[in-house]
Amino acid sequence: MFSPGISIAPAGDSPARSAQALAALRAALGHGFISDERFTWYAAPREDRPFRAALAALDDATGAVVGALTVEVVTAESLRDSFMDSYGRALGQAAIATLEPGRTGLIKSIAVAPAYRGRGVARALIQRGLGDLAAHGAERYYALAWESERDGCLLRGQLTAAGFRTALRLERFWRQDSVAHGYVCPACGHPCVCAARVMVR
């Protein structure tokens, strides 16, 4: 189950937890990768919109946020947008073409503090995220796992253990997005030249 000493809770339960979860995601993915507005879209979901959530991994001993995850049940628009300018290419893969709006969950963004890596934090976040997505109608799942020359694909093992398999690798996936939004990738700088490993379950 979950890693000993780690609890998973909604990131939006308190302003302090929300701020720490957003800081964790920005530290791992680049400061401008997730705007305050976009994070609030996950951390403070509304009943009149498709399900989405921001989760925080908490160190039980200190209460500190040591990891964060965002997930959503995709609409047709958010499914297309998640692939940015690679959507047409992605649809050429059978495993991706079968993803259905309203019945597909996206593991959107995930981060774990460096001192807590290798302790099951990512696994706990992914398990909870998948459970929440399933409870809101998801039957299939996908993730766009960041892959850099420096670090490789840090989440590949965790996603594979959760039943995901690689469907497609997209070179320089975040380059245009990093230029448009001005964020600096922690792995390769600016613009981001990391690849995305599209993993499907």
DSSP string, 54-109: EEEEEETTT--EEEEEEEEE--HHHHHHHTGGGHHHHHTSHHHHT--TTSEEEEEE
Taking only the tens of pLDDT, the chain with its 201 residues reads 456 799 999 999 999 999 999 999 999 998 888 999 999 999 998 888 899 999 999 999 999 999 999 999 999 999 999 999 999 999 999 999 999 999 999 999 999 999 999 999 999 999 999 999 999 999 999 999 989 888 888 889 999 999 999 999 999 999 999 999 888 999 999 999 999 999 999
Give the per-residue pLDDT at 4.
Answer: 78
The whole-number pLDDT of residue 1 equals 43
Residue 2 pLDDT: 52
- Which pLDDT score is estimated for 151? 82
Task: List the 104-112 sheet strands across, edge first.
Answer: 6-10, 52-59, 65-73, 104-112, 140-147, 195-200, 165-170
Entry pTM: 0.92
